[in-house]
Amino acid sequence: MPKLLQNIIRNPIARRWVDIILLSIFTIILTSIFKPQLYIFSLWIKQFTSHWSTLLTFSTIALVSCILSLILIHIGSLHYKFIFRLKTIFLYPPFWISIMISILIISFVWLIEGQIPISLIVMNINPLLMCFFSICIGLLISFIFNELSASSTSSTDPVEENYLQIENKDIFGKDDALLSWIKKETPIRYPSEDLFGHTIIANRITRNLLGANSSSIGVVGPYGCGKSSLLNIIERAILHRKDIIICRVDTWGRNTGSIAQKILTMAIDKVKEHTDCASIISLPENYRKAISGTESLGGSIFSAILQVSHDPLIQLSKLNDILLASRFRLVIFLEDIDRNTDDSVIRDEMPALLDRLREFKQISFVLTIGTTHKYSDILIRICDHIEALA
């Protein structure tokens, strides 16, 4: 095998660009084959909309743009957080980039061949600008709608003002403040609230997470020892890192269905905010089907074009490649993993998933484990690093 081909195969960025180029060529060929039909369709569209007002025309364009954008957002190929981030687009371009490349190449060829007169473009420059503006409006509406939908299901984070108030509070010098703190059973949110030296442990775990190799870390301790507080401090320590994607999963009460599927779903939801995840969007469902023994439906044209594999192990590897190409690292926090959960999940499902995740350098996880569950030792053995809390 030639050395250049070997380098392309090993480099996820090069592989992605090869995929984009091949998909662009496929789109250009497809357009050339169906060129007469596309021309007839364009004439029909022109005739159908000839009596429309300008407002109705561009409102329709904005609506279609909004619908298409919501579809791309749903399949994990579009998000406002990375659409304008040129570095991410270059490192791991979304599949729709190939369509844009195809449109530019086809338009350029048609201009050279005289099939699109330049005079026609000049005469219609204002409608073209209005069309572009309508597309942008539709895109903006889809982003706002998606963000509102996501925020309605997510929990709110304490405001920074509370942090400043807590930081200057000496509770040991005030009986009322100390009594109030004792009655408060919620985990601490900021390092300034740490009164038991958890920050030292958090810094040690953070160094392991940010090291050259990924680490699977277990925080072991009885209920009420401060495991959730420790996770909060770790999260605050790495929250400013732009190359870190944090996914926090609370498994408390999730005793129905596949917990592994829920973890993968939440993880991909976080990753697709930063880069294209269209090729792995079916990973959680395929993983659930794999562990339940049912077969996935495959062979669709859409999956073939996007190179979507229905093998969960291949898709997990694909997730690692996407993170590697995009220069991101995924850190998954797993809380209460051994509470209110079926024994079979702790014994079989979770160890299998976490053991597979350990193989990938771009994925790390921190899980909190109690000391009372009879299968806790299975989870502890999976971790590369253990921190015990009393």
With a CB cutoff of 8 Å and minimum separation 6, the contacts of 323 are 245, 271, 275, 329, 330, 362, 363
Q: Percent of the chain beyond pLDDT 90?
A: 32
387 within 8 A of 201, measured Cβ to Cβ: yes
- The SS3 assignment for 363 reads strand
Split at pLDDT 50, 70, 90, the class of 283 is confident
Residue length of the chain? 390
pLDDT given for residue 77 in this prediction: 93
With a CB cutoff of 8 Å and minimum separation 6, the contacts of 20 are 93, 95, 97, 98, 101
Please return the burial class of 374, using the count of CB atoms within 10 Å of its CB with bins 0-12, 13-18 and 19+.
exposed
Using CA atoms in the order 376, 378, 379, 384, what is the torsion angle rounded to 10 degrees?
Answer: 130
Whether the model pTM is above 0.85 = no
> Which token pair is 328?
């991101």
Domains parsed from the chain with CATH numbers: 3-153 (no CATH), 193-388 (3.40.50.12060)
Residue pLDDT, tens place only, 16-66: 999 999 999 999 999 999 989 988 998 898 888 888 998 999 999 999 999
Split at pLDDT 50, 70, 90, the class of 268 is very high
d(CA 252, CA 75): 28
Split at pLDDT 50, 70, 90, the class of 162 is very low
Helix/strand/coil percent split, the chain, to 5? 60, 10, 30
Give the pLDDT mean for 85-106: 92
Residue pLDDT, tens place only, 114-161: 777 777 677 778 888 888 999 999 999 999 999 888 776 654 444 343
pLDDT given for residue 54 in this prediction: 87
Cα angle, residue 17 at apex, residues 310 and 75 outer, rounded to 5°: 40
Token pair 């029909």 is found at: 44
Instruction: Examine the pLDDT at 298 and tell me if it is beyond 50.
Output: no
In DSSP terms, 219 is beta-bridged to 368, 387
pLDDT given for residue 337 in this prediction: 73
Please return the burial class of 123, using the count of CB atoms within 10 Å of its CB with bins 0-12, 13-18 and 19+.
exposed
Q: How many CB atoms lie within 10 A of CB 36?
A: 8
Token pair 């190359």 is found at: 243
Split at pLDDT 50, 70, 90, the class of 167 is very low
Give the pLDDT mean for 318-339: 88
20 within 8 A of 93, measured Cβ to Cβ: yes
Residue pLDDT, tens place only, 216-255: 898 888 877 888 888 999 998 898 898 999 999 876 555 5
- The SS3 assignment for 218 reads strand
pLDDT given for residue 299 in this prediction: 43
d(CA 251, CA 238): 22
pLDDT given for residue 158 in this prediction: 41
